[in-house]
Amino acid sequence: MKQVTMGDFYAPENMRDPIAFSTRLRERQEPLIHLDNVYGMGGGWVVLGYHDAVEILKDPRFIKDMRKFSSRPEPPDTGINDFLAWWMAMPNMILVDPPDHTRLRKLVSKAFTPRMIEGLRSRIQQIADELLDAVQDKGKMDLIADFAFPLPITVILEMLGVPTTDRDQFRAWTEGLAAVGMDPQQEQAAIAALDAFIRYLKKFLAYKREHPGNDLTSGMLQARDQGDTLSENELLSTIWLLITAGHKTTVNLLGNGVLALLQHPEQWRLLQADPALLPIAIEELLRYAGPIIFAKRFASEDLCLHGQNIHKGELVLIDLVAANADPKQFPTFDKLDITREENQHLAFGKGIHHCLGAPLARLEGQVALGTLLRRLPQLRPTIELEQLAWTYDGLRGLVSLPVAF
């Protein structure tokens, strides 16, 4: 039986139809698949089943903080080394465990409560309408560049108090950083992007100390300056995380979701006819076409799972695509059904690391998709779907999606 590699997960044909790929993996009858090389970090395991995924995501023996494994073998001599070193020096809430995780998450959690997020609805709607106003008369656009990207990044930058005029620069930096994960030849470009990104954030923080406002960054600075145990690196890394995670996953949710609906026109028409279905439609799009491929954990001790020995420090990848297409949990797993009500998908994870931004992503998805359905009812792709290019940065997203209306 052919050895599975990381490259298989990012092969163009598997990115186009990840559910079919996860079905083929499941047919191997291996609930755990061993990989010899994961992101240049040595071997690791891939978990496919929904039940296993839930258990691992909630199990405190599977942790986030790789700094706890000082004896872990060094990865190959690639740009990955530089980024591992940076990750360990710049901790944020998705890379650490309690009590650090609890402390860092608490600092920003008040800004992401359902009540606070609901208060952003009118502003998100205004942004969506302005973006479509800019392209309406053209009769065409790139859904990613003209709509799916600028909407969520504008929202998160405004929440942080960052000038939205710099949003295109943030996109260039995040894309440059992501590239090295799949192509070590991009090391120097990625390091330059990282350096520019951090220098920008340092200048921004210096400005905010002198000119505080009613924004999330000012709140974090005030907490730190009043004695909260927040280091400068944690502050930088948290803002970096909020900017990148605060827009990239939603960009991919919108792009993947619209594409899925265009591939299933009966679902598009059903949603147009009944906009009240939008909340559960977003949940189904998260399950069927979610933006995140893997959740990553490290075994904090030697463990045995399905007869396989997982050693302390080994990386475990929870395949969220496969878990969300597990026939034991979703009998019609390969069908896009925007009326699906029993939908406990794992697109936002589970346990203490459940995505803090889930309420915001849901709201942005509902407003954006509802606006497209209402204002561009004849939306259609202008490229053969087999020609679409996918990103290779650990997430599943489209590089572009040319459409006409």
pLDDT on residue 71: 46
Residue ranges making up the domain that contains 281: 6-404
Q: What is the CATH number of the domain that holds 231?
A: 1.10.630.10
Asked if the structure places residue 397 within a domain, the reply is yes
pLDDT of 363: 97
Number of domains comprising the chain: 1
Q: Which residues contact 312 (CB under 8 A, 6 or more apart)?
A: 69, 299, 300, 301, 302
Query: What pLDDT score does 280 carry?
Result: 98
Q: In 3D, which of 239, 234, 243, 244 has the Cα closest to residue 217? A: 239
Check if the beta carbon of residue 79 is closer than 8 Å to that of residue 184.
yes
> Among 165, 153, 154, which residue's Cα sits nearest to residue 244?
153
State the residue for tokens 């280091």: 231
Q: What is the pLDDT of residue 386?
A: 84
| In a domain? residue 239 | yes
Report the mean per-residue pLDDT for the chain. 89
Query: Does 68 fall in a domain?
Result: yes
Task: Decide if 369 is inside a domain.
Answer: yes
10-residue block means of pLDDT along the chain (405 residues)?
A: 88 94 95 87 92 98 84 42 57 88 89 91 98 97 97 96 91 75 66 86 94 93 70 87 90 97 97 97 98 95 95 95 97 97 96 94 98 97 91 86 98
Instruction: Tell me, yes or no, whether 1 lies in a domain.
Output: no
Q: What is the pLDDT of residue 226?
A: 60
Strands 303-305 vs 308-310: parallel, antiparallel or unpaired: antiparallel
Helices 121-135 and 358-375, axial angle in degrees (round to 10): 40
The CA distances from residue 1 to 8, 25, 27, 28, 220, in Å, are 14, 11, 12, 8, 52
Rounded CA separation 236/232 (Å): 6
pLDDT value of residue 194: 82
Q: Please state the pTM of the whole predicted model.
A: 0.91
- The predicted-structure confidence for 37-86, as pLDDT tens digits, reads as follows 887 778 899 999 999 999 999 999 999 988 787 544 443 344 445 555 66
pLDDT score at 225: 58
